[in-house]
Homo-oligomer: A and B are copies of this chain.
């Protein structure tokens, strides 16, 4: 596999994460850069989904990816191999989430004059990442079919803070006891405004719907 840059992230020194997040968001807006924060459980298909999305958007926008993980550089390499776009791996030093100060450490390693869209793949975790505003314009979460439709009941904050819920691995619905309508009801119990989009990152089903949403988002930012 190709080599990728690995950035060792340090714990943030800022006391007020919300203020830091607002400042980072404003800075990115001023540079015309759209930051998307992607969260989910481990193994729900974040990297595969992002590879699909990037391949559909990379001819329209300049894209960079920041892959956060405790260890390994598997995801950054996968993204670079699958899409060819710049991908850096952020090592969190055991920390279970990214906050705005940590996100900025990643951003500072990108050439923002040459980027329209930065995708942040957060640490795989349904609890802690939901508690910290990263400074992203929008946040999404991926819920995969094998995890079950009850996740919004058990991890309320994650589904409250997300603008879009991608229901991934719909290609394996026949092999699991999973009710898509029940899943939607559970998401909307936590967040009536969340958009729920069923996809299969494996075969590409539904990805265009999300790509259309993201394309509109980026155009809105750029005005």
A residues with a Cβ closer than 8 A to B are: 41-44, 69-72, 74-75, 94, 96, 123-128, 131, 144, 146-148, 150-151, 153-157, 169, 172, 175-176
Kindly report how many copies of this chain are found in the complex they form together: 2
A209 vs B96: C-alpha distance in the bound complex, in angstroms? 33
Residue of B at shortest CB range from A123? B127
Give chain B nearest CB distance to A132 CB in angstroms: 12
Residue of B at shortest CB range from A171? B175
Flag if A156 contacts B71 (CB, 8 Å). Answer: yes
Give chain B nearest CB distance to A4 CB in angstroms: 15
CB within 8 Å for A151 and B43 given contacts A124-B126, A125-B127:
yes
User: A41 — which chain B residues lie within 8 A by C-beta?
Assistant: 41-43, 124, 147
A43 vs B143: C-alpha distance in the bound complex, in angstroms? 10
8 Å CB contact of A125 from B94, B125, B153, B175:
B125
CB within 8 Å for A154 and B71 given contacts A125-B125, A146-B43:
yes
A157 vs B169: C-alpha distance in the bound complex, in angstroms? 27
User: A123 — which chain B residues lie within 8 A by C-beta?
Assistant: 127
User: A156 — which chain B residues lie within 8 A by C-beta?
Assistant: 70-71
Q: What are some 20 contacts across the A-B interface (CB < 8 A)? A: A41-B124, A42-B126, A42-B147, A42-B151, A70-B156, A71-B154, A71-B155, A71-B156, A72-B150, A72-B154, A74-B153, A74-B154, A96-B125, A96-B127, A124-B154, A125-B128, A127-B128, A144-B146, A146-B169, A175-B175
